[in-house]
Structure 1
Amino acid sequence: MFRPLSLAIGLRYTRAKRRTGFISFISAVSVLGIAVGVIALITTISVMSGFTGEFRDRLLSMVAHATISGAGDAMADWQQAVDVAHRDPRVTGAAPYVELTGLINGRRAEGAVIRGIEPSLEPEVSVVAEKMKAGALADLQPGEFNIVLGRELSQWLAVDVGDRVNVLIPQGSVTPVGFVPRSKAFRVSGIFEVGMQEYDRGMAIVNIADAQRLARLGDDVTGVRLRLDDIFGAWRVARDLADELPGIYAVSDWSRDHANMFRAFKLEKTMMFIIMSLIVGVAAFNLVSSLVMVVTEKQADIAILRTLGVSPGTVMRIFMVQGMLIGVFGVALGVVGGVLLTLNLGHLVHLIEATFGIEVMPSDVYYITGVPTDLDWNEVALIGGIAFLMCLLATLYPAWRASRTDPATALRYE
């Protein structure tokens, strides 16, 4: 016999019909429990990764991958910074910007970030031109004082294309009647919607020259925004570019600017992973119960094997093989089911909506109306490995108990 004795007997016990049907039922429940736990874990983690990726993509559609700004309030010689950025093969786009915080008055008032852009360069660093619901970025001509508002901001201000709004910034002059903030009337020339409240409700876009005149910056800008081929190397690229420029510059990137948000996503995903892993743990406890009953049923067989000279270690390995086969089958079934469910989750949600006439994620409540998924094969392998490890640990006590069987006691009443 070429295979080990423990493997041969363990496989035979697995295929053999048991006298007690309840033991087979418990084994089937253990397999299904492990499979359901793995399916739930893979699907949940994939959905959470999908939502995180969707949020990141929407965020990066408006936020620069990296930003180089002056050490003070303004940055001079931004044209040189753009030229240096374009010479770097890792940079796919660069554009200057002016950023102000102010109050916009329409029929109502709302605070917002006013961003001054160069319309011809902005498509290199953001997708706002593609998200225009009315008008176009090309309408932002210098000196015309046009403004583009987010959809929610325009609705709150109760203004539409062609209406006028007054923009006030917390800069001005002291007069005999007190401090007078600087203000300017703008005409609404467009409306955009990117699907994030932070921008749809809190941002307005003007031409960079108009923003410079409003803030009295001259030819200076706030900084230069960069788009890169690798978003995870953003800070390193921005630092390298800043080192090539004369003077002192501040460097930031998207991951640092929104670090708390992504830490929260990571913590939530980790905690959900731990919680969902408890389902697999419960199934592993069922596996312990199943194997304990199998050991009880096989007391006579164990005693005979021991009298034939089989060592306690071999007996232990026999039942470990049996338990691990149940675990492997359950994990494999769960991995296949989890992958299939994740890949078809969107279709399943649409089917449920069509069948029951409901909307899982209403568009008037959520910005994301579908269920995004991101299947990471490394995470699938990790989940499968952890589930198998739990099953392996679950076999240790029943197998050890089998190895401690006393042949004389087991055969006394046979």
Structure 2
Amino acid sequence: MITRYERMIARRYLMPGKGEGFIFLVATISLVAVALGVAALIAVMSVMNGFRAELFDRILGLNGHAVVQGYGGKLENWQAIADAARKLPGVTSATPLIEQPLMGSFQGRVEGVLVRGQRVADIKGNAVMADNVRAGSLDRLVPGSGTVAIGARLAENLGARVGDEISLINPAGESTPFGTVPRIVAYRIGAVFEVGIFEYDKAFVVMPVEDAQLLMRLGDAVGMVELETNDPDRVGQILQPLQAVVAQDGVIADWKSTNSALFSALVVERTVMFWVLSIIILVAVFNILSSLIMLVRAKSRDIAILRTMGAGRAALMRVFMTVGTIIGGLGTLLGLGLGMTILAFRESIVAGVGALTGANLWDPSVRYLTELPSRTDPFEVIGIVVLALVLSFLATLYPAWKAANTDPVQVLRYE
């Protein structure tokens, strides 16, 4: 424990004395550098966490935890497979699904689309889609009505709005003496949604599964069965018994295999960013080290006098360790507040920097998500704070040791 007089000396050494302005400047730079390092780590790690969490929630919210994909894109025996899946412990739902890339056209504009057919109840029960309707209503999706819901980016690219008719072009059309004629069917737009993932918003056309079966000429078959479990991380073990059931009809693909490259890249990027930004804190700690060394040299006469008055080596070590730890602690607290402020105004900051530089810092076509996400992990923040404090403390050990080993006889003889 630090004593009262040690606290007094440490407090006096924190303030610049006569001719010590440069030392105070270096200490201030060290404090600011620690703050910037802590703020950068908190902000970047929170954004990376938010990016992964948003992608995970939205991708799995739309595609489920796994799918049973029929050979050739057609699953005839889907009812039996869905029933067998629902009986497995850990499986919460098994729903039929049709997904097929086609072409969409409106007033001369043509875009590649991904037609998705689902039961109307499943469409309305999907929170990712139902909670993000920007225009119209999903209630308009009625089997046989010729009504669809499309993504917001697709609506922009086609120039279409709710109430307009778009044409879906199926290349697998009818055979004629002159060759295969593509099947073209017109559908009215009943709703426009924006789920927040650029690739989905620019391509999705959602319709009742009955209409999709008619468009694709599938009869009573579907393309796949979408499965959800109570533990996405254990989806492989949960669905293992289903492998034998579906072996003759299709294959099981879970979210880990489908999106493995994306999520693996996120893990690598997150780890690299943590270590790179930690270097900022390390550099700041070296500044604390250098400022304390200069302080010890500047206060060598005071240290010698304190030694002759009875101050022990341990007491002098505690004084300088306190000075350095206070600088690191104040910088950490400042960085914590700055990091939280950056996260709170991250959208405005990105927009402001983009306006100043003329660059699009958050291009949805590159970043997948339409908005900059953030999810702060309290334990991660605590870890960053502890890291900064521990490094700051370690930086005080050598200067404190030098101060404690100052020979008062040598110093007072020459000074």
TM-score of the superposed pair, with normalisation by structure 2: 0.77
The CA RMSD measured in Å over matched residues stands at 4.2
Find the counterpart in structure 2 of residue 113 from structure 1. 114
Letter in 2 for 1:37: G
Describe the SS at the equivalent of 1:141: coil
Find the counterpart in structure 2 of residue 283 from structure 1. 284
1:373-388 to 2 correspondences below 5 Å: 373-388=374-389
Aligned residues: 401
Counterpart CA distance in 2 for 1:368 and 1:74 is 31
Residues 50-74 of structure 1: per-residue CA shift (max 9 Å, x gap): 3443444443443323223345643
The answer on whether the counterparts of 1:39 and 1:334 sit within 8 Å (CA) in structure 2 is yes
Counterpart CA distance in 1 for 2:102 and 2:274 is 43
Counterpart CA distance in 1 for 2:402 and 2:44 is 36
Letter in 2 for 1:78: W
Q: Structure 1 residue 16 and structure 2 residue 12: aligned?
A: yes
Flag the 1:214–1:376 CA change in 2: closer, same or farther, 3 A: same
Q: CA deviation at 1:380?
A: 0.5
Find the counterpart in structure 2 of residue 323 from structure 1. 324
The answer on whether the counterparts of 1:131 and 1:193 sit within 8 Å (CA) in structure 2 is yes
The answer on whether the counterparts of 1:212 and 1:221 sit within 8 Å (CA) in structure 2 is yes
Flag the 1:9–1:293 CA change in 2: closer, same or farther, 3 A: farther
Find the counterpart in structure 1 of residue 394 from structure 2. 393
| Residues 292-301 or 117-126, more deviating | 117-126
The answer on whether the counterparts of 1:82 and 1:95 sit within 8 Å (CA) in structure 2 is yes
Flag the 1:19–1:130 CA change in 2: closer, same or farther, 3 A: closer
1:142-153 to 2 correspondences below 5 Å: 142=144, 145-153=146-154
| Residues 183-192 or 329-338, more deviating | 329-338
Unaligned runs of 5+ in 1: 354-359
Flag the 1:411–1:14 CA change in 2: closer, same or farther, 3 A: same
Q: CA deviation at 1:258?
A: 2.5
Describe the SS at the equivalent of 1:67: strand
Find the counterpart in structure 2 of residue 63 from structure 1. 63
Letter in 1 for 2:201: D
Describe the SS at the equivalent of 1:121: helix
Find the counterpart in structure 2 of residue 50 from structure 1. 50
The answer on whether the counterparts of 1:149 and 1:192 sit within 8 Å (CA) in structure 2 is yes
Counterpart CA distance in 1 for 2:362 and 2:318 is 54
Find the counterpart in structure 2 of residue 299 from structure 1. 300
Find the counterpart in structure 2 of residue 99 from structure 1. 99
Counterpart CA distance in 1 for 2:241 and 2:189 is 35
Flag the 1:139–1:343 CA change in 2: closer, same or farther, 3 A: closer
Q: CA deviation at 1:130?
A: 4.4
Q: CA deviation at 1:293?
A: 1.8
What's the % identity of the aligned pairs? 32
Q: CA deviation at 1:30?
A: 2.8
Flag the 1:246–1:115 CA change in 2: closer, same or farther, 3 A: closer
Counterpart CA distance in 1 for 2:378 and 2:347 is 21
The answer on whether the counterparts of 1:65 and 1:234 sit within 8 Å (CA) in structure 2 is yes
Q: CA deviation at 1:291?
A: 0.6
TM-score of the superposed pair, with normalisation by structure 1: 0.77
Describe the SS at the equivalent of 1:220: coil
Unaligned runs of 5+ in 2: 354-359
Residues 305-352 of structure 1: per-residue CA shift (max 9 Å, x gap): 77799887876565334323432343244335544x2674379879x9
